[in-house]
Chains A and B, each alone.
Chain A
Amino acid sequence: MDAIKFVEEQLSQENTLPTFRAGDNVAVSYRIIEGDKERIQIYRGDVLQINGSGKTKTFTVRKMSNGVGVERIFPMTSPNIASVEVLKRGKVRRAKLYYLRGLVGKKARIKEKAHNAK
């Protein structure tokens, strides 16, 4: 396993992301390269889960787009992530919020953590 860790350390960069967890509302600034132009797209939603470990760790962000649920998986070490901003700290009782997939509208809201409100 050490060889895997060595390769991962050699070949991937470390993104300095703020600490966040499932239930938090985040805005991910993602670099998009079109031809030779580069622009930044902001993807805002709730963190559904943090998956994996080490350099292959990912997080899933879910949002409602025109009434349709959209989920995007971002690798933590992706060079295309410009920044992540934590907008709200959510109060949730589990690490994987799969139950949100079955909920819409007011039921799909996540309560904000009281003492950590920004």
Chain B
Amino acid sequence: MNGIIGKKVGMTSVFDETGANIACTVIEAQPNVVTQIKSADGADGYDALQISYGSAKEKNTSNALVGHYEKAKTTPKRKSLELRDSSIEAELGDEVKVEDVFVVGDKVSAVGITKGKGFQGVVKRHGFRGVGDATHGQHNRGRAPGSIGAASYPAKVMKGMRMAGRMGGTRVKIKNLRVVKLFPEQNLIVIKGAVPGHKGSLVLIEK
């Protein structure tokens, strides 16, 4: 797996060569630094490349991590992720840039933390249709979940029953996105479609 960590800048829309208007997300991916290389023959037992993005204050980074980043001759980073079985050719401390990983037209996935939605009911959270009837003596129950089980048998609510609760704020991968355009000088990737998270949140773009 190859990829790069970037920051979601926001969305816009552009016209493609057929004149179709496509919604795009702009990702700013400053060069990532390779901070660790794991290999199948080494102590780790598998091949992986650890890439790191951004910068963190040294006083807010644990000494263990400061030492870890010093090994790669770099400063503390905001986020580090592992890419297993990566085909990126890089040494410890090397920079991975946008153009090293992607070309225009690539099919990519975006991994990020979705926006937190708070405590939500079943209609928004699980796509239930609600009760829907305004008549037939109905009142006050338009978005209620309905029955959650049978009666004295099984005498319990089945595990995994979809109910109201916290929604969002989870790690999600969106597949089958497409790279519309790259701006290597500005470290920008333009991707067709939406990407999880708020503006400024970190996303892993992988292919």
Chain A interface (Cβ < 8 Å from any Cβ of B): 1, 3-4, 6-8, 10-13, 31, 33, 55-56, 75, 77-80
- Check B15 against A56 for contact (C-beta < 8 Å): no
Q: Is the CB of B181 within 8 A of A31?
A: no
Assembly CA distance A72 to B13 (angstroms): 18
Q: Is A3 in contact with B19, judged by CB distance below 8 angstroms?
A: no
> Which residues of the partner chain A approach B119 to less than 8 Å between Cβ atoms?
none
Cα-based distance from A11 to B192 in the complex (angstroms):
13
Which positions 177-205 of chain B face chain A at CB distance < 8 Å? Answer: 181, 183, 186, 188, 190
Cβ–Cβ < 8 Å partners of B19 in chain A? 31, 33, 78-80
A3-B26, A75-B21, A78-B21 given. 18 additional CB < 8 A pairs?
A1-B9, A1-B10, A3-B28, A3-B186, A4-B12, A4-B26, A7-B14, A7-B188, A11-B181, A12-B15, A33-B18, A33-B19, A56-B12, A56-B13, A75-B15, A78-B19, A79-B15, A79-B19
Q: Which chain B residues in 1-27 approach chain A with CB under 8 Å?
A: 9-15, 18-19, 21, 24, 26
Do B188 and A6 have beta carbons less than 8 Å apart? yes
- Whether B15 and A7, one on each chain, are in contact in the complex, defined by CB atoms closer than 8 angstroms, is no
By a CB distance below 8 angstroms, the chain B residues around A77 are: 15
Closest to A11 in B: B14
Say whether B183 contacts A78, CB under 8 Å.
no
Give me the 5 closest cross-chain CB pairs, A-B, nearest first: A11-B14, A3-B9, A80-B19, A4-B10, A79-B19
Report the count of interface residues on B (CB-CB < 8 A).
Answer: 18
B183 touches A6 (CB 8 A): yes
In the assembled complex, how far is the CB of residue A10 from the closest CB belonging to chain B, in whole angstroms? 7
- Residues of chain A within 8 A (CB-CB) of B14 are 7-8, 11-12
Q: CB-nearest residue of chain A relative to B10? A: A4
Contact among A6, A11, A78 for B186, CB-based, below 8 A = A6
Contact yes or no, A7 B21, CB < 8 A: no
> How far is A6 from B189 in the complex, measured between Cα atoms in Å?
12
- Alpha-carbon distance between A77 and B22 when the two chains are bound, in angstroms: 13
Contact string, B18-40, partner A, CB cutoff 8 A, digits 1/0? 11010010101000000000000
Chain B minimum-CB-distance residue to A1: B10
Q: Which of A7, A13, A80 contacts B12 (CB 8 A)?
A: A7
How far apart sit A78 and B183, CA to CA, in the bound complex (Å)? 22
Q: Are A3 and B181 in contact (CB under 8 A)?
A: no
Q: Is the CB of A7 within 8 A of B13?
A: no
In the assembled complex, which residues on chain B have CB atoms less than 8 Å from the CB atom of A10?
181, 183
Contact partner of B15 among A3, A6, A78, CB < 8 A? A78
Please report the C-alpha to C-alpha distance between residue A12 and residue B19 in the assembled complex, in whole angstroms. 11
| Pairs across A and B, CB under 8 Å, 5 listed | A1-B10, A4-B9, A4-B10, A12-B15, A78-B15
User: What residues on A are CB-neighbors of B26 within 8 Å?
Assistant: 3-4, 7
> CA A64 – CA B26 in complex, angstroms?
39
Minimal beta-carbon separation of B193 from chain A (angstroms): 15
Q: Are B28 and A7 in contact (CB under 8 A)?
A: no
Q: How far is the CA of A10 from the CA of B14 in the complex (A)?
A: 10
